Structure 1
């Protein structure tokens, strides 16, 4: 769907006012919400990571939050795995 829409809907023009940016991002997210490959698009943008635009229904700032949460979760899982292996070795 986004291929048929203007790229300007998904990417900010330089010096875009905040109200215009928020409105444009919401319009882009509505396009994403109807897209059959939204999840795949989002994962692509997270794995790259894409620094600009709306991808898979998320803005660049929202993607940074998701990535930070994933990093924290991965660190916690690694810590838990180390603790479990230490306990198993001691037992």
Structure 2
């Protein structure tokens, strides 16, 4: 099931924004916060569909998201990720595209 108002359920909702908008190796720490987040997919779709350029969203850095956007520039990422979730492959979708 897709969560429309996902932000109140995000694992990072109590985190300081500075924790998610970091550079270099610090991004790996930020990505760990996303592990197990119940709305990770919705967060990632938001960042991809709106081409958010900074920070870690849905467990992916801006560099990782740019790579996905280059491969499928016209994609509706909500549709892509929602369909992947329905098929049970949502965790493999972002990883396999790296």
TM bucket (normalised to shorter chain) is 0.5 to 0.7
**Consecutive unaligned residues in structure 2, runs of 5 or more:** 1-10, 76-98
User: Among residues 5, 12, 25, which one is paired with 1:2 in the alignment?
Assistant: 12
* Compared CA separation, residues 39 and 25, structure 1 to 2 (3 A): same
Aligned-partner Cα distance in 1 for 2:59–2:26:
12
Aligned-partner Cα distance in 1 for 2:74–2:18:
33
Higher helix proportion, which one? 1
**Aligned residue for 2:41?**
39
Aligned-partner Cα distance in 1 for 2:60–2:30:
9
Aligned-partner Cα distance in 2 for 1:35–1:25:
16
**Consecutive unaligned residues in structure 1, runs of 5 or more:** 13-20, 74-91
Q: How far is 1:22 from its partner?
A: 2.9
Instruction: Show the 5 A alignment for 1:52-71.
Output: 52-71=54-73
> How many residues get paired?
65
**Aligned residue for 1:27?**
29
Q: How far is 1:72 from its partner?
A: 8.5
**Structure-1-length-normalised TM-score:** 0.64
| Divergent runs of 4+, >6 A | none
Query: Which of the two has higher C-alpha Rg?
Result: 1
Aligned-partner Cα distance in 2 for 1:46–1:4:
23
For the aligned residue pairs, the C-alpha RMSD in angstroms reads 1.8
Aligned-partner Cα distance in 1 for 2:69–2:53:
12
